[in-house]
Amino acid sequence: MMKLLLTRDVPNLGKEGELREVADGYARNYLLPRGLAIPASRGNIKLLQEQHEAVLRKEAKNRADLVALAERLRDVSVTISTKTGTGGRLYGSITSKDIGDALEEQHHLPVDRRMVELDDPIRTIGTHKVRVRVASDLHPEISVVVQETP
């Protein structure tokens, strides 16, 4: 049996950074050649811990930035003007790309279209609530005001 440190998540074995004991052949023929693990020496353990701490510091900084963006988005209202037909129906529709572009243009907020959670495109005039997924647990709502082009 050989002790290894996993450098990546390996299905049915463990997650990145874990210490595992595996059969010699599995280690030599599969894990080590593919870079999925490294031998568990003191130096490698220390190196992996330092890399893990650096990743945690970076994630904490990114998390703070995402929370700040979510707070800014909570009070945001976006106005989109478009052509309409009879009964307040739009020619075409307002998509997540249109909303993302409007957020960038009107409020200078870096919101990608994939962050805008829109089940169906908006097809009517009025005020609509739209969720923006900033992180897995941060979903602020913005107001999208769709109005007729004068």
Give the span between the Cα atoms of 106 and 15, in whole angstroms: 43
Residue 92, both tokens = 């075409």
pLDDT, position 89: 80
Q: Which position has the token pair 């009025």?
A: 126
Of 140, 98, 101, which Cα lies nearest the Cα of 123?
Answer: 98
* Three-state SS at 61: helix
Residue 52, both tokens = 């893990």
Q: What is the DSSP secondary-structure string of 3-26?
A: EEEESS-BTTTB-TT-EEEE-HHH
Task: Quote the DSSP letter at residue 118.
Answer: -
Q: Domains along the chain?
A: 2-68 (3.40.5.10), 72-148 (3.10.430.100)
77-82 and 141-148 as β-strands: parallel, antiparallel, unpaired?
Answer: parallel
36: pLDDT confidence band, cut at 50, 70 and 90?
Answer: very high
Whether the Cβ atoms of residue 7 and residue 38 lie closer than 8 Å to each other: yes
Whether the Cβ atoms of residue 124 and residue 140 lie closer than 8 Å to each other: no
pLDDT, position 109: 87
79: pLDDT confidence band, cut at 50, 70 and 90?
Answer: very high
Instruction: Give this prediction's pTM.
Output: 0.61
pLDDT, one tens digit per residue, over 41-76 is: 888 888 888 888 888 888 888 888 888 888 888 888
Give the span between the Cα atoms of 81 and 72, in whole angstroms: 23
pLDDT, one tens digit per residue, over 68-77 is: 888 888 888 9
